[in-house]
Amino acid sequence: MNLSDIKATLSFSNGSPEVALPVYKGSIGPDVIDIRKLYAQTGMFTYDPGFLSTASCESAITYIDGDKGELLYRGYPIEQLAQKCDFLDTCYLLLKGDLPSGNQREAFHKLVINHTMVNEQMQFFLRGFRRDAHPMAVLTGLVGALSAFYHDSTDVHNAEHRDIAAIRLIAKMPTLVAMAYKYGVGQPFMYPQNDLSYAGNFLRMMFGTPCEDYVVSPVLEKAMDRIFILHADHEQNASTSTVRLCGSSGTNPFAAIAAGVACLWGPAHGGANEACLNMLEDIQRNGGVAKVGEFMEKVKDKNSGVKLMGFGHRVYKNYDPRAKLMQETCNEVLAEMGLENDPLFKLAKELERIALEDDYFVQRKLYPNVDFYSGIVQRAIGIPVKLFTGIFALARTVGWIAQLNEMIGDPEYKIGRPRQLYTGAPRRDVP
């Protein structure tokens, strides 16, 4: 961190002494006021529910400018990465800090692809779940259980262990997600095939069967890879903060990532694209495109209880840059599958048109976000709605690992311990 020449001064109306607080500058983005000594100097805490104005850490991984609609991984715009790199290149970038050279790229791709198999006993663990269990419930258990199968890489303070765990998690997540899907539909598990790409291998494990050879569609392979890139990291969101907080206790990387999976399950976070597709299907059942205007009027009525999913974002106050790329991918996938006239896509386009033209939505900057189109893409590929969040977890794993590694390597790292404003009963005696 770079100390700014500017200092902040906190004053009190009761005559208490003023407190000078240092200010630190980032490379881009807002500066931060250092309040670490505030309690020692004043006996007070700050109060910031949801951490909307609190920087919980120093990070060099991902930067978001919500007003500009800008997302950078290690300084590279997401648009360029999605168009010029594949997911494993992006993984290398997030983990190492720079894009790989030719030799580094080949070695890293080979390393990940050669570790996609999971211990054979994992399938017996999986069979303890009900067939109709939600895939995220299954995935939370499977990821946490990895520490029981790969206990030679569970020391989070050992850099070599963290590197091994990182490769294992990135490599095995597609296998676990595909296994959770196959188990739910009663089909045999498909082993990874090392001559396929990361995304192609995942598609084969999902939709291939032992009955016949599975031919990977280049269009769907590219779409899947792009979904992974767009979801790889997103700064200090709820699940990333959960991974950091969990990892700050010194727990093993597999447990910390399992905590991230559990947090991601929530409909306000990773489940948003599932909620968006469910909304589109509800509109379709209730009249389709002809009823979109009526639906949007209900959204504007605060008393209706109707919510518009897939629009707006906690940090983006402009068009989500990932949404533009996902819309492009959506067009490609629907054309490949012969679904250009898909009714849900028509619904989505009409919702977007109204939201971008109606003053109510424009004034509130409710632009489409990445979840708006990613659900349609995944549905067209054949991924069931219940598995959408599992795909998100697969993609976000590398971001979680990069953030966890960064935290552990920070000399100022401490176990997380938020404070509170207590409003309960004061001390009292038992009668």
Pairing of strands 19-25, 70-73: unpaired
Cα 295–Cα 297–Cα 301 angle in degrees, nearest 5: 115
Confidence of residue 70 (pLDDT cuts 50, 70, 90): very high
C-alpha torsion angle, residues 353, 355, 360, 365 (rounded to 10): -130
Question: Whole-structure pTM over 0.85, yes or no?
Answer: yes
Residue 231 is among the residues annotated as catalytic for this protein:
no
pLDDT of residue 230: 95
Mind listing the pLDDT tens digit for each residue in 91-100? 999 999 999 9
User: Rounded CA gap, 138 and 354, in Å?
Assistant: 39
Annotate 96-161 with three-state secondary structure: HCCCCCHHHHHHHHHHHHCCCCCCCCHHHHHCCCCCCCCHHHHHHHHHHHHHHHCHHHCCCCCHHH
8: helix, strand or coil: strand
Q: Which tens digit of pLDDT belongs to each residue from 98-143?
A: 999 989 999 999 999 999 999 999 999 899 999 999 999 999 999 9
Selected residue with higher pLDDT from 204 and 337? 204
Euclidean distance between CA atoms 87 and 227, whole angstroms: 9
More confident residue, 69 or 110: 110
Q: Are 188 and 181 in contact (CB under 8 A)?
A: no
Check residue 1 and give its pLDDT. 77
Of the residues 86, 231, 313, 320, which is catalytic? 313
- Where is average pLDDT lowest: 74-88, 128-142, 260-274, 283-297? 260-274
Q: pLDDT exceeding 70 applies to what percent of the chain?
A: 99
pLDDT of residue 369: 80
56-68, pLDDT tens digit by residue? 999 999 999 988 8
Q: Which residue has the tokens 């009663």?
A: 186
Q: Which pLDDT does position 208 carry in this prediction? A: 97
Residue 11 has pLDDT above 90, yes or no: yes
Q: How big is the chain by its Cα radius of gyration, in Å?
A: 23
Check residue 271 and give its pLDDT: 79
C-alpha 404/C-alpha 256 separation (Å) is: 8
Most confident region among 150-159, 346-355, 415-424 by mean pLDDT: 415-424
Nearest CA to 368 among 312, 416, 328?
312
pLDDT tens digits along 348-407: 888 888 888 889 988 888 888 887 888 889 989 999 989 999 999 999 999 999 999 999
Q: 3-state class of 179 per DSSP?
A: helix
Tell which residue, 424, 320, 408, has the closest CA to residue 368: 320
pLDDT band at 154 (very low <50, low <70, confident <90, very high): confident
Phi and psi dihedrals of 60, rounded to 5? -115, 20
- Dihedral of CA atoms 253, 227, 177, 145 in degrees, nearest 10, equals 10
Convert the pLDDT of each residue in 190-243 to its tens digit: 999 999 999 999 999 999 999 999 999 999 999 999 999 999 999 999 999 999
The encoded tokens of residue 99 equal 């894009």
Annotated active-site residue 313? The verdict is: yes
- Note every long-range contact of 307-310, with CB atoms under 8 Å and residues 24 or more positions apart, other chains counting: 307/279, 308/279, 308/351, 308/355, 308/361, 308/366, 309/272, 309/275, 309/276, 309/278, 309/279, 309/371, 310/272, 310/273, 310/276, 310/279, 310/368, 310/369, 310/371, 310/372, 310/373, 310/375
Catalytic position from the list 161, 371, 410, 429: 371
